[in-house]
Structure 1
């Protein structure tokens, strides 16, 4: 199992990566601060008198402004493959009143930025309704159905992926290397030193020299605690064998 293009697109667009906006009939691109709400709609937070807010002001006779959000993955560690790049296109509208307050609360669920306290005063929230999603990886471009994108969930491990990989590298190198060799069998060459370089809800990717291998979890994980529970038999392999031996005795 591995993430679908819609799931990767939602993960990349979630707000933890740098993004720029290309706005219709405006010079740019514009750096943006953003998150996505529960439906995958983009929430943009910007100063009221800033360049982005000025560029997003609709032309006469319109209520919204067309734009494309451009987001590229940043691999968590050296030697890790990129998840690719996503373009999310749609129309943005400035929120006011109760809509702005509700959007600020949704924004805070992903990023409790202090500037959210100034929404309605010195800060403005725009919401972009998603009309088109395109995902590219390794030169392959995929059109993602906006409905599939909206229904997909961002990966629950993405924001802590670096911390998880660092913990495995600092404390569980031998256990993980042994597990990888057992799983890969003859495909793991004697000189290989397996190193975890990516983690997601479906499994992890390991670098072995100049090769990459993906190992799947028995089921998708839901959060860090669930991952720890799933990996316990791997990281405590000796404990598991001792327990089995005790049971046999």
Structure 2
């Protein structure tokens, strides 16, 4: 259980990471504030009197402009593997009236910036309809079907991943290390010797841990027994693992909080 390429692309494009807009036949790229709506369409919030707005406005007789949104992952903590980079290509057009107001409501769900109140005056909303989606991961470029991209959902833990990883590193190193080592042992893998394993990425399907001494690290992915819905759902799932004073206190009972069904893969770290 891990995110599909379409889900990774939607997560990267969601709007919580910096993005650049490349505009056909115009000077670019431009850093752009963006978000995606429920259908995966890219919403761009642009100052009305700036160079970017001028570049995005269609030429006389045209309805839209060819644009590529480029978003690269920013790993949340040192040692985190990257999710890669996504390019969403398509046609962008300015929105007005009801469409602009709806787009502002969709945008605020991702990034509630104050400039959304100025849409239609000092700010312009543009919408990019995806025609092509490409995802680069591990040095490999793959094409994502636009319909699969539109149907996928961004990861619900993306916005709080840094908070969760920091909390685990600051307060739950021993509990997580014991749990991870039991899971590896149950699967017939002892894992490399070295410092306590640490969680370096989290998503709705599981987490990635780093094991071994510096320079000889390996990563393992442990899957949850089911996809989690949000931060509260994850807290309920991990509570028996992180709270040593709850339940019976036996390893088997503690692991039952994760359904006793975590699976793993191990591999050397990638850049």
Unmatched 5+ residue regions in structure 1? none
Q: CA deviation at 1:236?
A: 2.4
Aligned-partner Cα distance in 2 for 1:5–1:110: 21
Aligned-partner Cα distance in 2 for 1:14–1:96: 22
Aligned to 2:153: 153
1:233 aligns with 2:240: yes
Runs of 4+ in structure 1 over 4 Å off = none
TM-score when normalising by structure 1: 0.95
Aligned to 1:211: 218
Q: Give the alignment partner of residue 190 of structure 2, picking from 175, 187, 190.
A: 187
- SS of alignment partner, residue 246 of structure 2: helix
Please say if residues 173 and 196 of structure 2, whose CA atoms lie closer than 8 Å, have aligned partners that are also in contact: no
Q: CA deviation at 1:189?
A: 3.0
Aligned to 1:17: 17
Aligned-partner Cα distance in 2 for 1:29–1:171: 41
Distance 1:138 1:242, change over 3 A: closer
1:202 aligns with 2:205: yes
Aligned-partner Cα distance in 2 for 1:109–1:154: 13
Please say if residues 73 and 84 of structure 2, whose CA atoms lie closer than 8 Å, have aligned partners that are also in contact: yes
Q: CA deviation at 1:242?
A: 3.7
Aligned-partner Cα distance in 2 for 1:163–1:221: 17
Q: CA deviation at 1:238?
A: 5.3
Q: Which moved more, 1:215-224 or 1:229-238?
A: 229-238
Please say if residues 58 and 64 of structure 2, whose CA atoms lie closer than 8 Å, have aligned partners that are also in contact: yes
Aligned to 2:100: 100
Aligned-partner Cα distance in 1 for 2:96–2:246: 57
Q: CA deviation at 1:192?
A: 4.1
Aligned-partner Cα distance in 2 for 1:126–1:40: 14
- SS of alignment partner, residue 189 of structure 1: coil
Aligned to 2:231: 224
Aligned 1:134-145 pairs, distance under 5 A: 134-145=134-145
Please say if residues 42 and 127 of structure 2, whose CA atoms lie closer than 8 Å, have aligned partners that are also in contact: yes
Aligned-partner Cα distance in 1 for 2:191–2:241: 17
Aligned length: 245
CA RMSD, aligned part only? 1.4
Aligned-partner Cα distance in 1 for 2:67–2:16: 20
Please say if residues 32 and 45 of structure 2, whose CA atoms lie closer than 8 Å, have aligned partners that are also in contact: yes
Q: CA deviation at 1:203?
A: 0.2
Unmatched 5+ residue regions in structure 2? 254-271
Aligned to 2:263: none
Please say if residues 207 and 221 of structure 2, whose CA atoms lie closer than 8 Å, have aligned partners that are also in contact: yes
